Structure 1
Amino acid sequence: MQIRSFLIVAMVFGAAPVMAQTSHVGHTEGMDHAMHSGHMAATEPTLTEPGQGAFAAIAEVVKVLEADPETDWTRVDLAALRAHLVDMDRLVTGTQVEETVLPDGIRSFATGDADTIAALLRMVPAHAAELAKDPRWSVRATERENGVELEVTSTDPATVARIQGLGFFGLMASQDHHRAHHLMIARGQNAHAH
């Protein structure tokens, strides 16, 4: 209960800076974002982060798609990419994990509210398949009634320590395939059925 109260307070007070960043106070009618860049002095620093993480990921993909003359715009599906990024956010912020340390790795049971469970069911088995490409460990993802169980084990003591150090969230973030995966989704390609 205390964690939930803390999260609500953090969301409420965390929203103020975001609202301040997105406020268009000072804009006059007809003024657009492009006009701001024209008024910046050459000595002012240029921002590199275009905003919230999912927005930044989509903006980066748009930039790549626009720069590629081979982009098939009839297949581009940025709504699917957005849905995947929402799943990623739910996985990180909405998932509750019960981890069991095993002598040779860990077993994690991940659950949450209905939307989070749906995201877990889409993401964990697909990511487990990516994890399984690493020969240093064995990976098993099992759908359960109220979530997903992920078990990662190894016979190598150094790898066991790595698995246990990474835990569920570290394992879900490892294997650097995410950017290529996002570009595949945006291009309308089947990227492990997300």
Structure 2
Amino acid sequence: MKHFAIIGLVALLPNLAAAQETHTGMNHEAMMNGTGMVQGETMATGLQMNPATEAGQSAFAAVEEIVLALDADPDTDWSKVNIPALREHLVDMELVFTDAEVQTTEVENGFQFAVTGAGKTIGSIQRMAIAHAGVMNGTGDWTFSPEKTETGVVLTVTSTADDMDKLRALGFFGIMAMGMHHQNHHWMMATGVNPHG
């Protein structure tokens, strides 16, 4: 039995070598210029596939989506477009969601979130929490009350409804993700409109 397995492996060696040669000889420049493989074509089979949908890091993907839409619109007023402002906002989002620390305290009809950070994260927390509270305050039965501190923000969220379980489950980060207004805000920032003013 071992004899047959060894023969099978030896028989495969030329194919493996050819596959390796194909990969190492791949001309990335030709692919980028459209003279190599068609987009989505696999090296081994030549079949059409396009499994990739992610443009890369999420902030890059968000900027790419907006740039493509602006570029496709012949009425885009490029004198008002401000992609750097959008990028700064996306940096704020990243810092808050990855670097901020949160201490949660239950209060009457809600929760108080002491959100703190260091360095650049402090400003990101303040900008994000205060802007989000401004948009979400009064939505449904919820009240958002932010207070700026030296190291971030204390955000108090209360409800007149029986939403304690929901508020507890969401916590600060879940509450920050609510509203489905972020995409519209990103578009406004990129096109030179202040979404908070």
Q: Does TM, normalized by the shorter one, top 0.5? A: yes
* Residue 174 of structure 2 is aligned to residue 170 of structure 1: yes
- 1:98-146 per-residue CA deviation (whole Å, 9 max, x = no partner) reads 1112241110010111200011111111100111140311110000122
Distance 1:169 1:34, change over 3 A: farther
Alignment gaps of 5+ in structure 2: 1-23, 42-46
Distance 1:74 1:142, change over 3 A: same
Distance 1:46 1:34, change over 3 A: farther
Distance 1:31 1:163, change over 3 A: same
Worse-superposed segment, 131-140 or 142-151:
131-140
How many residue pairs get aligned? The number is 168
Amino acid at match of 2:187: L
* Residue 146 of structure 2 is aligned to residue 141 of structure 1: yes
Distance 1:112 1:26, change over 3 A: farther
* Residue 43 of structure 2 is aligned to residue 38 of structure 1: no
> Does the residue aligned with 1:38 lie in a helix, a strand or coil?
coil
> Does the residue aligned with 2:69 lie in a helix, a strand or coil?
helix
Worse-superposed segment, 85-94 or 61-70:
61-70
The structure having more radius of gyration, on CA atoms, is 2
- 1:134-165 per-residue CA deviation (whole Å, 9 max, x = no partner) reads 031111000012210100001211x2221221
* Residue 158 of structure 2 is aligned to residue 153 of structure 1: yes
* Residue 110 of structure 2 is aligned to residue 121 of structure 1: no
Amino acid at match of 2:142: W
Contact 2:138/2:144 (<8 A) preserved: no
* TM-score (normalised: structure 2): 0.77
Distance 1:37 1:86, change over 3 A: farther
Alignment gaps of 5+ in structure 1: 1-24
Distance 1:26 1:101, change over 3 A: farther
Distance 1:117 1:184 in 2: 24
Worse-superposed segment, 119-128 or 37-46:
37-46
Distance 1:34 1:186, change over 3 A: farther
Please name the residue that 1:85 is paired with. Answer: 90
Amino acid at match of 2:129: V
Contact 1:105/1:161 (<8 A) preserved: no
Identity %: 39
* TM-score (normalised: structure 1): 0.78
Distance 2:151 2:94 in 1: 19
Counterpart selection for 1:104 from 109, 114, 131: 109
Distance 1:113 1:79 in 2: 23
Distance 1:93 1:147 in 2: 14
Distance 1:145 1:127, change over 3 A: same
Distance 2:98 2:178 in 1: 17
